[in-house]
Structure 1
Amino acid sequence: MKPSLAIIGAGLAGLTLARELSEQAEISLFEKARGLGGRMSTRRNATHQWDHGAQFFTARSKAFQSQLAPFIEAGNVVEWQPNIITLSPSDKPFKRPWFEPHYVAAPGMNFLLKAMSGELNIQLSTRVETVTRAQDKWQLFDEHAQLLGEYDWVVSSAPLPQTQALLPKALLGDDLAQYHMQPCYALLLTVDDAELPHWDAAKVNHSAIRWISFNHRLPGRNAKAGTVVVHTRSDWAAEHLEDDQEQVKQILLNTFCELTQVIPEAITLAQLHRWRYALSAEVIEPESEFILNVEQKLAACGDWCLGGRVEAAFASAHQLAGALRKVLA
């Protein structure tokens, strides 16, 4: 009989791990959100959509390139070749070259995860609140103290703060102490495309804003539904994390208009999303790409193990899957 394995979090790391261990274990995934996404989330309303987390990703390792190949062939992943510039409040903008392929999922960033989910056993809208030991099994409970199941192994692919809260510190020791996450604000706008500059995305310097993307110009999107995603610097977000959210939104709206010369009247909708755990602090010399306690049958993985980036989520889970295959055999 295969061992049972619970994976907390159904983002790229959790799905990668589940796919790679499907032959070795009976796997259940638990995702607190209503849909798949994590940092690759896509928000929608009746007429528009915004990729308000990761805007693109690279594929620098052969393992990740191999993982993406069938999804590129199927059209779920498309190379993005934007007209990208560098902006700052005081200097003239200049074109920003990219020297490696950059990809997006289409028609939304979360469609890669939907394509990966396949026949996996995923329970959405299910928050794992506590993980406790009962004889030789791990028991998972939701926020209503209802038992979600008993498992031989538990792996958290959730963001670092949730992983720290869920997995017993007494069993993992100080393994998680070297990792840190940082906040970010995402400002989501609707603007008629004719009112926007000719470029597609901008890296911003010397500003509260660090990134601007005209989301509707990404491959596979509705090019007529003008949408903009603005991301802030993490240090600015940390400084203003608990400020009045309407004031934060107004500051960012004003800054966006000043940087782009878009007139405020052209903006027909503005929403603010606060990512408390958006970016992973760079790990200078990570001790491992994942956390693993074989004796206790506990593990953790995620992009936070390798300093962020979409590919880091894959790499952490891919390395953990290789280690677990040896002990699950």
Structure 2
Amino acid sequence: MTSIAIIGAGLAGITLARALAPHARITLFEKARGLGGRMSTRRDDARQWDHGAQFFTARTPAFREWLAPFIADGTVAQWHPRITTLSPDRPPYPRPWFEPHYVAVPAMNALVKGLARGLDIRLQTRVAELERRPAGWRLWDEHGSHLGDYDWVVSAAPLPQARALLPLPDRIFDGFAMQPCYALLLAVDDGSLPGWDAAVVREAPVRWIACNHRLPGRNRRAGALVVHSTPEWAAERLEDDQAEVQAQLLEVFCTLTGVAPTAITGARLHRWRYALSAEVKQPAPGFLLDPQARLAACGDWCLGGRVEAAFTSGLALAGALARRL
């Protein structure tokens, strides 16, 4: 049976692996300690923060059909938040949403964890090098350890990592781009917070604030906020002292929301080097594929971002590969 190595265990990689499992021997490699990629979740004893993707929409019939059983069994729930818009120089005002928004329950990574059951996944394993072999590819980690030989290698990692690892012509990646973002994770007593559940922010270093504990299926008694910076602000400070970056974002948050600094009982910062995907001018077919080299790549960055794009990209690549196996 054909062997395929998939690098990255976010939604794109897991979708691809699940679709190809009947046709090939699949091994997933994930450098992080857990699954989910940007659908991952941080926790402490009482709180949790979905510090990457905050929600997702379902705009295509294929994704809506795929989601239906997860909605039925409670793994996915529709989110009905009280949304406001914040700006340093204007009063807050309500912000309506005109399409359903969804979250996974009890955390964003629950959807990927459910899909991953039964798959061969190697966590905390960073694929650092591909060696061309007569019958395919040999994989090595950063310590020089052999990770196995495979007929095909697919990157489901962020664009810069795929570009650095796959021995493909650089021009094949032209037209795609990703941007960074900082996530500030705060512990705040719910009684000290505003009445809204999430805020879109304008004209500030922050672009999004969410009361994570008020999402469906979360512990509502343990106040947990996620504050996302703008990509432009993050790019200018990506290598700055992280304590200073955290302090700056904390000050902006308190100014925007009116939350007193003394009400914040905990804070941590996460630096997403590859957080947001730029719009793709020519998104079709939604993946990269070199049949001669037996190399491929998929991910939300192939279709301009969003959780749905990760699913669509992984599923589309699975169809293209299945026809070649």
| Interval of TM-score (by shorter of Structure 1 and Structure 2) | over 0.9
Q: Is 2:42–2:49's contact at 8 Å kept on the other side of the alignment?
A: yes
Q: Aligned pair in 2 of structure 1 residues 74, 51: CA closer, same or farther (>3 Å)? A: same
What does 1:58-207 correspond to in 2, within 5 Å?
A: 58-169=57-168, 172-207=169-204
* 1:45 matched residue in structure 2: 44
Distance 2:283 2:61 in 1: 21
RMSD: 1.0
* 1:324 matched residue in structure 2: 321
The amino acid across from 1:158 in the alignment is A
SS class of match (2:127) = coil
Distance 2:170 2:124 in 1: 30
Distance 1:87 1:148 in 2: 49
Report deviation, 1:173.
4.6
Which one of 208, 211, 217 corresponds to residue 211 of structure 1? 208
Consecutive aligned runs of 4 or more in structure 1 exceeding 4 Å deviation: none
Q: Is 2:136–2:294's contact at 8 Å kept on the other side of the alignment?
A: no
Report deviation, 1:284.
2.1
Q: Aligned pair in 2 of structure 1 residues 241, 319: CA closer, same or farther (>3 Å)? A: same
Which one of 224, 236, 239 corresponds to residue 239 of structure 1? 236
What does 1:299-314 correspond to in 2, within 5 Å?
A: 299-314=296-311
Report deviation, 1:248.
1.1
Output one character per residue of 1:35-57: Cα deviation in whole Å (capped at 9) or x when no partner: 10201010011121100000000
Output one character per residue of 1:167-198: Cα deviation in whole Å (capped at 9) or x when no partner: 003xx451112211100000000000000000
* 1:57 matched residue in structure 2: 56
Report deviation, 1:288.
3.3
* 1:261 matched residue in structure 2: 258
Percent identical residues: 62
* 1:272 matched residue in structure 2: 269
The amino acid across from 2:217 in the alignment is G
The amino acid across from 1:92 in the alignment is P
How many residue pairs end up in the alignment? 325
Distance 2:284 2:103 in 1: 30
Report deviation, 1:285.
2.3
Output one character per residue of 1:47-85: Cα deviation in whole Å (capped at 9) or x when no partner: 211000000000111111122111111111110010011
Output one character per residue of 1:194-248: Cα deviation in whole Å (capped at 9) or x when no partner: 0000000000000000000000000000000000000000001001111111111
The amino acid across from 1:127 in the alignment is R
Report deviation, 1:5.
0.7
SS class of match (1:92) = strand
Report deviation, 1:165.
1.2
The amino acid across from 1:165 in the alignment is A
The amino acid across from 1:326 in the alignment is R
Q: Gaps (5+ residues) in structure 2?
A: none
Distance 2:106 2:227 in 1: 19
The amino acid across from 1:310 in the alignment is V
Distance 1:325 1:97 in 2: 42
Distance 1:245 1:163 in 2: 26
Output one character per residue of 1:77-127: Cα deviation in whole Å (capped at 9) or x when no partner: 110010011111111111111111100001110000011112111111111
Report deviation, 1:251.
1.0
The amino acid across from 1:114 in the alignment is K
Q: Gaps (5+ residues) in structure 1?
A: none
Distance 2:56 2:284 in 1: 24
Distance 1:287 1:50 in 2: 34
Matched, 1:224 2:235: no
SS class of match (1:225) = coil
